[in-house]
Amino acid sequence: MKRLVLTSIIGLLPSLSHATGLNFWESSTVNSSLASANGAVATDASVLALAPSSITQLNSPTVTANVTFYEVTTDYDLFGAETQYKQSDPIPAGFFSTPLNENWSAGLAIYSRTAADISIPQISFILPLTDETRVRPITVSVAPTLAYRWSQVSFAATLEYLYTEYELYQTKCGFRGCNDSKLKDTTSGFSGALSATWIVNPNLSVAANHKFATKYSDNNIQLDLPSITSLYATWRATKDLDWHFSYSYTDWMAKAFAIVTTVTHLAC
């Protein structure tokens, strides 16, 4: 079994990470939800993607849906190897929340937590050192939430089922020419989150959410997603003006995913 760890080669070429798409690993959930709601104030059910505890502010059953389009363009010239491609995909999302009684609320969110499109070029010195490789994992979260409101403070617990669909494309070249291969499969795992919201007064609300780190894998892929801690605040400056503040912290150091096949081990 031949294994090639590409991390060591990438480490020698840090300036190329943007060109090859290595930094395109994003939380599309936050990007899409911030367009319609802030975590500290619930204007619709998409607040489930930010601070689920805030759904106690919604007094009636609420359904929210949206579609996020992510697009990646890769264009590189490495040691004479050139390639260019563009890929875009729609990622739908749906959110539902409902009050159960005066104190309890429930919600369900289905959305994309992370998406990536990563390519590694073929690097050759007389003989190929790496195969041209492209990895496209998309992780979808199915997350039910149960929230409790006590006076002006709300707490919520969220169970998260993570479903990942991934594709691996490789072009292997030798003396007899080049061969293309494609691997497509799915895997899944679990995570969770705890959140809290405090309505300080009619003009100020704050919220916090902590998503737990998780690891899961199958025979071909290993995912190691870090924890994410987010803080939100909304201040109503005037009747027609709200200021929204947010802060997120995540530790990606030593966190990654790896595609493992019988010929290549890709880690980043």
pLDDT digits (tens, 9 = 90+) for 29-48: 444 444 445 788 898 898 99
**Is 2 inside any structural domain?**
no
Higher pLDDT, 95 or 183: 95
**Is 208 inside any structural domain?**
yes
**Is 1 inside any structural domain?**
no
Higher pLDDT, 133 or 112: 112
Q: Considering only CA atoms, which of 262, 261, 268 is closest in space to residue 168?
A: 261
Which residues, in sequence order, are CB contacts of 68 under 8 Å at separation 6+? 28, 31, 32, 90, 91, 92, 93, 112
**Is 90 inside any structural domain?**
yes
| pLDDT band of 108, cuts 50, 70, 90 | very high
255: containing domain? 7-267
**Is 76 inside any structural domain?**
yes
| pLDDT band of 25, cuts 50, 70, 90 | very low
Asked if 190 and 178 touch (Cβ cutoff 8 Å), the reply is: no
pLDDT of the residue at 10: 32
- Other C-beta atoms closer than 10 Å to the C-beta of 117 total 23
pLDDT digits (tens, 9 = 90+) for 182-218: 888 889 999 999 999 999 999 999 999 999 988 888 8
Residue 181 reports pLDDT greater than 80: no
Rounded to 5°, the CA angle 178-180-186 comes to: 155
Asked if 123 and 81 touch (Cβ cutoff 8 Å), the reply is: yes
What is the rounded distance in angstroms from the CA atom of residue 190 to the CA atom of residue 142? 10
Which residues, in sequence order, are CB contacts of 157 under 8 Å at separation 6+? 145, 146, 192, 193, 194
- Expressed in percent and rounded to 5, the helix, strand and coil fractions of the chain are 10, 65, 25
**Is 105 inside any structural domain?**
yes
Asked if 47 and 92 touch (Cβ cutoff 8 Å), the reply is: no
Instruction: Tell me which DSSP letter residue 33 carries.
Output: H
Q: Considering only CA atoms, which of 92, 96, 109 is closest in space to residue 144?
A: 109
What is the rounded distance in angstroms from the CA atom of residue 136 to the CA atom of residue 167? 5
Q: Residue 218 belongs to a domain with what CATH number? A: 2.40.160.60
pLDDT of the residue at 21: 35
Give the number of domains in the chain. 1
Average pLDDT of the chain to the nearest whole number: 74
Highest mean pLDDT out of 170-174, 180-184, 233-237, 246-250: 233-237
**Is 136 inside any structural domain?**
yes
**Is 95 inside any structural domain?**
yes
